[in-house]
Amino acid sequence: MKMGTALLYDEEMTKYKLLWVDPVCKIEVPERLTVSHEALVKTGLADRCIAVPVREATDADILLVHSEEYLEAVKTTPYMTLEELMEFTLQHGDVYFHPNIYHCAKLAAGATLQLVDSVMTGKVRNGMALVRPPGHHSMRSAANGFCVFNNVAIAARYAKQKYGIKRVLIVDWDVHHGQGVQYCFEDDPSVLYFSWHRYEHQKFWPQLRDSDYDSVGKEKGAGFNINVPWNKVGMKNSDYLSVFCHVLLPIAYEFSPDLVLVCAGFDSAIGDPEGEMRASPDIFAHLTHLLMNLAGGKLCAVLEGGYNLTSLHQSVCQTVQTLLGDPAPRPANLDGPCTSALESLHCVRAAHKQYWSCLKHAAELPTSDVSTKCIKLAEEEEKQKTGEVEKSAEEETWPEPPKRLAPPVSTALVLPEGVACPDGCKRFSSSEDPVIVNKLREKFLTDSDDSDALTTLSSLTALVEKMEKNEIGNGLALVRDVSMAMMCVVQHAATAHHDRVLIVCVGDAVVSSQGTDDGKTLLVQFSNKESEEQKGKFHIPVCLKKGCSDVSGFTQAVLGLLLPLGYEYDPSLVLLVRAPGSGLSDGAWQQLTGLLQGLAQGHTLVLMQEGEKACVGPTASSLLGVAAPPLGKLHAPLPEDVEALERLRLGLQADWKLLRTTAPETGGGEAPFFGSEIS
Ligand code: FKS
Ligand code: ZN
């Protein structure tokens, strides 16, 4: 059912190190690997993974990306004297050589290929390779930035060649720009490369003009290279999540990869001396989770950077635990993206709007673009002169990520008799608690004496309570009347301990807005009924022309609207309601179910109408954590839907900061958050 997670590691890759004094390279130490691996062992995560042996990459593998001359040159390094190694090192940038690094580099690339093989052959669902040396800076004929062979670039070519897949997505969340990967696939539309990186208007290493947002790819590959430059340090969880929701995910879903490779560097986490960013290690649980429903779940994470050993091992554990399917922790401190991040977001979306239909209505480039840059630079220099004292990254402290406990029961179903319970799920019924029963009778069943309904509703209430205690992860109920069941759960949750409930309603269920404006619930309702009006901050009708039957429009609404809203709202329970005749395809429904499980520690309760028996299987499988099937390459959504969604987003962004995609100053017009993106 739920296939496993591969872990690739070989101690041999710790057996090279810097042999001379070099302040630039001294952070790249063997302990990066040992500490990460030990943490996985200590937490029991390594045991839960499938250990896949590492192999050496062959010459043919390496030549998929590198030149023969370069490979031959690297081959001579094991026989070099110290002086010769130092001299060879000097021919390349920010890297060091050691007699054993060639061997390790072959293992690092080979481990990555073994991981790709395990995932592509279906031996495992996903996996992570802990490797050294890293790869994303190395180029066709040059080592660079601690990297010798470009592990992930080789893997992308290898996967295409060996398995005949058409599209590969590379997500580079390392804090440095993987220029080696960019150069390798710049003109290739079959490999979509996404990277965010510390840039500071080209002041930060590798200081390339090519790392800016306007390097979008060349020729046929135009639009398939996405750079998000961070022009300030200190980027946080909100900044990372906004870029995922408003750039990477919409494009990735439109692209529809057959395989996802992650350049998984963790120098983008708090405490890292290189990155100086402030995202918490548990953000990687979310970044990972958000990618796990692409490509049918085929995801390979390959270690790149990460130099604060504590932050590094915590982040590695968060990533692997998520790959294993454990629910993600509730994301902390989502206080909205900072102005600088919004400026970057704005520029990237503008630079790519001509290539991706999901960005068709994004705002144009800020007109003051170039001059803004100069002003920003001047400001920055000014600040340096006045010598503002800031905490150094190494002094940064942060709480250890909370232990993530998978509930003893993953998925519980409340089903009428005669409907079979899918494998892996637990059929749930409660011994009726008289207090609950009485309450239900009073509130909902005053004029009927329907004992079936009573049983169902009391089971639902009990189920919600068990989720609250984390005895059950998530659940599904087939009910006679979704509207009534929904009201019942909401009322119960409001009086019980649940602090906030996110209600996502697909199709036309009757929803009373009574009691939904106090912030205890946030209702997002997808339908085709234009009549529905927005009622305050907490009741958001999303009207799509063809309801939910247009997959592109629906996906766009989920990624760019629902996810950011959900993240910012941070519910303790998600109630997902599927009204009859929603028009939603099983595939899109599974994507929705899967994605929403990043919220509320995975506590989702799905309500469906009795008639929708056929949907129980697919829903249960998504609740169990099986990746949703790919939706295929998405066509352009209906123009009126794109416009309606954009208008809705603009109207809501005063209240919901994660919906913003432009900075206040560069939004244009008098009202910065309204109307600037609609022509
Ligand atoms: C500025 C000097 C930076 C080199 C940084 C190399 C970063 C390597 C990496 C990788 F993933 F490849 F390991 N010098 N202070 O983290 O991107
Ligand atoms: Zn890095």
Q: What is the pLDDT of residue 449?
A: 59
Q: Which residue has the tokens 């085929």?
A: 298
**What average pLDDT does range 124-145 have in this prediction?**
98
**What average pLDDT does range 59-67 have in this prediction?**
98
pLDDT band of 9, cuts 50, 70, 90: very high
pLDDT band of 550, cuts 50, 70, 90: confident
- CA-to-CA separations, 379 to 102, 253, 666, in angstroms, rounded: 44, 38, 17
pLDDT band of 639, cuts 50, 70, 90: confident
* Contact in structure between 132 and 110 (CB atoms under 8 Å): no
Q: What is the pLDDT of residue 152?
A: 99
Q: How far apart are CA 652 and CA 674, in angstroms?
A: 9
Instruction: Say if residue 373's pLDDT is above 90.
Output: no
Q: Cβ(677) to ligand 1 under 6 A?
A: no
Torsion of CA 356, 359, 363, 368, to 10 degrees: -40
Q: Give residue-wise pLDDT tens across range 222-245.
A: 999 999 999 999 999 999 999 999
- The residue that leads in pLDDT, 670 or 599, is 599
- Name the phi and psi angles at 500, rounded to 5: -140, 140
Catalytically active residues are: 137
Q: How far is the CA of 653 from the centre of ligand 2 (A)?
A: 33
- The residue that leads in pLDDT, 393 or 281, is 281
Edge-to-edge strand list for the sheet holding 604-609:
426-427, 409-414, 472-479, 604-609, 573-578, 501-506, 521-527, 539-543
| Positive/negative CA dihedral, 331, 336, 339, 344 | positive
Residues 6+ apart with CB under 8 A from 83: none
pTM: 0.95
**What average pLDDT does range 633-652 have in this prediction?**
90
Q: How far is the CA of 396 from the centre of ligand 1 (A)?
A: 20
Please measure the distance between the N-terminal and C-terminal CA atoms of the chain and give it in whole angstroms: 48
Q: Which of 66-80, 378-392, 414-428, 483-497 has the lowest mean pLDDT?
A: 378-392
Q: How far apart are CA 389 and CA 592, in angstroms?
A: 45
Q: Give residue-wise pLDDT tens across range 256-290.
A: 999 999 999 999 999 999 999 999 999 999 999 99
- CA-to-CA separations, 115 to 63, 103, 299, 302, 353, in angstroms, rounded: 19, 18, 9, 9, 34
Annotate 406-446 with DSSP letters as a single string: PPSEEEEEE--TTSPPPTT-EE--PPPPHHHHHHHHHHT-T
Residue of 25, 112, 146, 172 best suited for mutating to test ligand 1, as the one with most atoms within 8 Å of CB: 146
- Ligand 2 being an ion, which residues bring their Cβ within 5 A of it? 174, 176, 265, 267, 305
Q: Print burial letters for 11-32: b (CB count within 10 Å at least 16), e (below 16).
A: eebbbbbbeeeeeebebbbbeb
- The residue that leads in pLDDT, 549 or 384, is 549
Q: Strand 521-527 relative to strand 501-506: parallel, antiparallel, unpaired?
A: parallel
Q: How far apart are CA 173 and CA 634, in angstroms?
A: 24
Nearest to 240 by CA among 275, 206, 214, 279: 279
Q: Would you call 629 exposed, middle or buried from its count of C-beta atoms within 10 A (0-12, 13-18, 19+)?
A: middle
**H/E run at residue 313:** helix 309-323
Protein residue closest via CA to atom 13 of ligand 1: 305
Task: Indicate which ligand has the atom closest to the C-alpha of 27.
Answer: 1
Question: Where do the domains of the chain lie, and which CATH numbers do they carry?
Answer: 5-17+27-326 (3.40.800.20), 409-632 (3.40.800.20)
Q: How far apart are CA 145 and CA 45, in angstroms?
A: 30
Residue of 22, 27, 137, 181 best suited for mutating to test ligand 1, as the one with most atoms within 8 Å of CB: 137
**What average pLDDT does range 664-676 have in this prediction?**
47
Q: Cβ(326) to ligand 1 under 6 A?
A: no
pLDDT band of 453, cuts 50, 70, 90: confident
Instruction: Say if residue 158's pLDDT is above 50.
Output: yes
Q: How far apart are CA 136 and CA 138, in angstroms?
A: 6
Q: What is the pLDDT of residue 498?
A: 74
Half-sphere exposure of 500 (CA within 13 A, CB side): 19
Q: Give residue-wise pLDDT tens across range 574-628.
A: 999 998 878 899 999 999 999 999 999 999 999 999 888 899 999 999 999 999 9
Q: What is the pLDDT of residue 666?
A: 44
**What average pLDDT does range 56-63 have in this prediction?**
98
Q: Give residue-wise pLDDT tens across range 348-369.
A: 999 999 999 999 989 999 876 5
Q: How far apart are CA 585 and CA 589, in angstroms?
A: 6
Q: What is the pLDDT of residue 510?
A: 72
- The residue that leads in pLDDT, 453 or 93, is 93
Amino acid at 141: S
Q: Cβ(267) to ligand 1 under 6 A?
A: yes
pLDDT band of 457, cuts 50, 70, 90: confident
Q: How far is the CA of 18 from the centre of ligand 1 (A)?
A: 14
Q: Give the pair of three-digit tokens for residue 295.
A: 């490509």
**What average pLDDT does range 404-418 have in this prediction?**
93
